[in-house]
Amino acid sequence: MRMAKHISIVGLFLYAMIGSEACAEQLEPPELTLLTENEAALLRLDKNAKVISETVRGPGPRIHLESPPLRQDAEGQEIAETEANAEAKLMAIFSEKDKVDMGKFEMEIRNGNHVVSLTDRLRPYVTENRLDARHLRMPSGRFHIGIRIEDKQGHLTEKSYLWVVKN
């Protein structure tokens, strides 16, 4: 009888451990490849290319990029930097949630006539007035990022910057 109790206790313990590992795996957020290597090959900017900040700002919503953080170089170009082998985060806040129309959120990477929309890839990470995408993988290179959003009155705001993903 004692042996049966011990086996039952050990069995329950093992069951609990396996169950908790399975739950932990399910809770791990999936990694998102934001841009494939084939797409990156078309969209990479050369090392001397500049991204002119096309910030359109009037009565429309504000775009505040939290991550990766932006810095300005000596020429006023806004630059975000991340590491290619590290998981990147893309986090932005857009004005007050009762004023912004997140259904009008758009994000793209462009190089001349080549444009890849990231909107559908990032849509699951858009809530209320935030974009909160973590565990991103991005190929190395220099990329022109454009973000557009409208408020509920239809006023457009656009922000662009250079995203440098280092090896």
**pLDDT of amino acid 16:** 59
Burial (CB count <10 Å: 0-12, 13-18, 19+), residue 99: middle
pLDDT at 6 exceeding the cut of 60: no
pLDDT band at 5 (very low <50, low <70, confident <90, very high): low
- What count of other Cβ atoms lies within 10 Å of the Cβ of residue 53? 15
pLDDT at 25: 47
Q: What is the pLDDT of residue 24?
A: 45
CA distance 157 to 146: 11
Other beta carbons within 10 Å of 63? 20
Q: Is 91 within 8 Å of 59 (Cβ atoms)?
A: no
Averaged pLDDT, 39-55:
87
Single pTM value for the model:
0.78
Name residue, tokens 């090896």: 167
Q: What pLDDT digit, counting tens, does each position of 74-90 carry?
A: 888 899 999 887 888 99
The reported pLDDT for the residue numbered 2 is 67
